[in-house]
Amino acid sequence: MPPYLRSMSSLLVTLIQTPLHWEDKAANLAMLEEKIRGLDKTELVVLPEMFSTGFSMRPEQLAETMEGPTVQWMQRLAAEKRVILTGSLIIEEDGHYYNRLIWMLPNGQLGYYDKRHLFAYAGEDQHYASGSRRLIASARGFRINLQVCYDLRFPVWARQQATEDGNPEYDILVYVANWPERRAQAWRTLLQARAIENQCYVVGVNRVGNDGNGIYHSGNSMVVDPLGEILYEQAHEAAVHTVSLSRQHLDDIRSRLPFLRDRDQFHINP
């Protein structure tokens, strides 16, 4: 069994918070590759939303296919560093454009999630198609629910459901984002809320710096434990940080405080 599928007592997650070169794929991939190559020991590397371009509303000029150079770049780096690599980019498929999160394994296999909630305030819904299904991946025995930026405001989409054996369906909730500093308080509050209500770890990775529209991003990338305690946070500066998520800590909280047993059961219609 590959090491990234083995059940382990912890998972090493690296958050890469960085400025992004506006609509410049070559510059962003070169910058991110240098950061990733510099990593010592980790198992999962999380990049921001639209990491190769910034949060652009020009998919007609910037979109790639799933066989394009950025997905190939992810495949190559994941294999070379023996890590799982995830982040979102602009993908064209069947005449539609998607803000698509890629989950790339070291063996070249991948999963993907198309952003469900499109940010109409910035016109995202005018340029991109919405996704209709969640992606819950696995790493080191942890189940990981992968979402993108604006999805954070919609708790039903992230709500923990029960598996057939009655256990929670996931253990870690990941958000990749380009979330502006002017709404940083909402970002911080909602990341903690998602962790508390779903009794899971939450990892939020945001960019820093100004984008091509002059909008400033303060980062505030965070890791939150299942009680809502902040294990890591960085604002305003570029940062590469690795945190170890403990399975025992998660299981102890769920055992001592079995709140999920009382949750409402419902079905989400896409």
Domain CATH for 140 = 3.60.110.10
Residue with tokens 């999160």: 101
Q: How confident is the model at residue 155 (pLDDT cuts 50, 70, 90)?
A: very high
Q: Does residue 94 lie within any of the structural domains?
A: yes
**Averaged pLDDT for residues 143-149:** 98
Q: What is the pLDDT of residue 7?
A: 52
Pair 36, 29: CB distance under 8 Å: no
Please report the sign of the dihedral spanned by the C-alpha atoms of residue 193, residue 195, residue 196, residue 199: positive
Q: Which domain holds residue 226?
A: 3-262
If one compares 4 and 194, the residue with the highest pLDDT of the two is 194
Q: Does residue 268 lie within any of the structural domains?
A: no
Q: Pick from 152, 138, 176: which is nearest to 16 by CA?
A: 176
Determine the Cα angle at 169 with ends 161 and 85, to 5°: 130
Q: Does residue 182 lie within any of the structural domains?
A: yes
Q: Does residue 270 lie within any of the structural domains?
A: no
Q: Pick from 178, 160, 191: which is nearest to 265 by CA?
A: 160
Q: Does residue 219 lie within any of the structural domains?
A: yes
Q: Does residue 91 lie within any of the structural domains?
A: yes
Q: Does residue 269 lie within any of the structural domains?
A: no
pLDDT in tens, 215-247: 999 999 999 999 999 999 999 999 999 999 999
Q: Does residue 245 lie within any of the structural domains?
A: yes
What is the total count of domains within the chain?
Answer: 1
Catalytic sites, residue numbers: 49, 115, 149
Q: Pick from 244, 250, 179: which is nearest to 208 by CA?
A: 179
DSSP, residue by residue, 25-83: HHHHHHHHHHHHHT--S-SEEE--TTTTT-S-S-HHHH-B-TTSHHHHHHHHHHHHHT-
